C-alpha cells in the first residue's frame, strides 16, 4: 500500500505513528506502543532558570515560518527515524494544514524548534531539536501555551524519556491513551487561536513554575 498523507492521518486517528529504522532505511514501520507518553497540559514544568531564559528575550519565536527547516533540524543527528518518504509525508501534511511547526530563532539562526500533527483537539508531538542551549525547552514552553490557548486536550509525546518526564510528561496505558484520543478527535481546537506570539512573561505565567 502506498503511503499517502490521508493514510497517515487515518493512522494517527487510530493511535499509531510511522518510524523508519534510520535515514537510509526505505521501509516505514507503524508503531503502537503499549505505554504512551503524554504531556498533561496543566502540569508543564518551567524551572526558574528556564523562566529567566524566556524572559531574557534572547530568542525570537515564530510558528510555521520554516517547517522544512524544523523537520530537517530534527533529522540532523547521527540516528534518526526520519527517512525520505517520511520527510515528504510531513511536508505534504504541512501543506494540508495538519502539520505545524514552532521555530526558535537567535538572530538569523534557526536555533531550535518542534513540529507535530494536529487532528481535532489532539496534538501529536513528533520531534524537537536544539542548536543553542535551552532553545528546544523554550519552544516547548511556547508550544504548551499555544495548545492551551487553542483548546487542545491531548499532547501526545509518543514515548516517555527522562528529559520529557522532568518537564512534566507522564506515561499512560494504550487503552487510556485511546480513550483520550477518541475524545480529543471529537473536540474542535485551533493551533492559531492564540494569534501573535505572546510576550515572554505571558508564556511563563501560563505554565507551572517549579524551583
| Residue that has been written with the C-alpha cell 537510509 in this structure | 24
Is 73 buried (19+), middle (13-18) or exposed (0-12) by CB count in 10 A? buried
> Among 3.40.50.720, 3.90.1170.50, 3.40.630.70, 3.20.20.70, what is the CATH number of 5-210?
3.40.630.70
Give residue-wise pLDDT tens across range 24-81.
888 888 999 999 999 999 878 788 999 999 999 899 999 999 999 999 999 998 888 8
- State residue 210's pLDDT score: 44
pTM score, whole prediction: 0.93
User: What are the domain boundaries of the chain?
Assistant: 5-210
Phi-psi region of 15 (alpha: psi -120 to 50; beta: other; left: phi over 0): left
Give residue-wise pLDDT tens across range 94-148.
999 999 999 999 999 999 999 999 999 999 999 999 999 999 999 999 999 999 9
Amino acid at each position: 500500500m502506498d503511503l499517502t498523507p490521508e493514510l497517515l492521518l487515518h493512522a494517527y486517528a487510530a493511535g499509531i505513528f510511522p518510524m523508519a529504522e534510520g535515514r537510509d532505511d526505505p521501509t516505514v514501520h507503524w508503531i503502537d506502543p503499549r505505554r504512551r507518553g503524554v504531556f498533561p497540559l496543566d502540569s508543564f514544568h518551567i524551572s526558574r532558570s528556564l523562566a529567566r531564559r524566556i524572559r531574557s528575550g534572547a530568542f525570537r519565536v515564530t510558528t510555521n515560518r520554516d517547517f522544512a527547516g524544523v523537520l530537517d533540524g530534527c533529522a540532523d543527528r547521527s540516528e534518526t527515524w526520519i527517512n525520505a518518504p517520511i520527510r515528504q509525508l510531513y511536508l505534504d501534511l504541512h501543506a494540508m494544514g495538519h502539520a505545524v511547526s514552532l521555530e526558535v530563532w537567535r538572530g538569523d539562526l534557526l536555533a531550535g524548534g518542534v513540529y507535530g500533527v494536529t487532528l481535532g483537539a489532539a496534538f501529536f508531538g513528533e520531534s524537537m531539536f536544539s542548536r543553542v542551549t535551552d532553545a528546544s525547552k523554550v519552544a516547548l514552553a511556547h508550544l504548551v501555551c499555544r495548545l492551551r490557548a487553542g483548546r487542545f486536550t491531548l499532547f501526545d509525546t509518543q514515548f516517555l524519556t527522562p528529559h520529557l518526564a522532568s518537564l512534566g510528561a507522564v506515561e499512560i496505558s494504550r487503552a487510556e491513551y485511546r480513550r483520550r484520543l477518541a475524545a480529543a478527535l471529537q473536540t474542535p481546537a485551533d493551533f492559531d487561536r492564540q494569534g501573535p506570539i505572546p510576550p515572554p512573561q505571558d508564556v511563563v505565567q501560563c505554565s507551572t513554575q517549579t524551583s
